[in-house]
Amino acid sequence: MPFDLFDWADRFPGDDGTPRGGDADGHAGSPPIPFAERPETRRAGAPPGDHRRLRGAMSHRRGASAEQQVQDSYARRGYSVAATRWRGRGGEIDLILRRGGTSIFVEVKAARDADTALSRIRPAQIARIHAAASEYLGTLPDGSLSETRFDAACVDGYGRVTIHENILAHP
- Chain segment 72-97, per-residue pLDDT in tens: 999 999 999 999 999 999 899 999 99
Q: How far is residue 127 from each of residues 60, 97, 119, 132, measured CA to CA in Å?
A: 22, 19, 15, 9
Q: What angle do CA 52, 56, 59 make, to 5 degrees?
A: 140
- Element of type H or E holding 97: strand 91-99
Q: Please state the length of the chain.
A: 171
Q: Which residues pair with 106 in a beta bridge?
A: 95, 151
pLDDT digits (tens, 9 = 90+) for 11-21: 444 444 444 44
Give the residue with greater pLDDT, 128 vs 34. 128
Q: Catalogue all structural domains in the chain, each as residue range(s) with its CATH number.
A: 52-164 (3.40.1350.10)
Q: How far is residue 152 from each of residues 21, 46, 50, 75, 116, measured CA to CA in Å?
A: 52, 37, 33, 16, 12
Instruction: Please give the order of strands across the beta sheet that includes 147-155.
Output: 80-88, 91-99, 102-110, 147-155, 161-164
User: So what's the pLDDT on residue 148?
Assistant: 93
For residue 124, what pLDDT band results from cuts at 50, 70 and 90? Answer: very high
- How far, in whole angstroms, is CA 30 from its chain's centroid? 35
Amino acid at site 153 = A
pLDDT digits (tens, 9 = 90+) for 48-81: 666 677 777 777 788 788 899 999 999 999 999 9
For residue 9, what pLDDT band results from cuts at 50, 70 and 90? Answer: very low
Whole-prediction pTM:
0.67
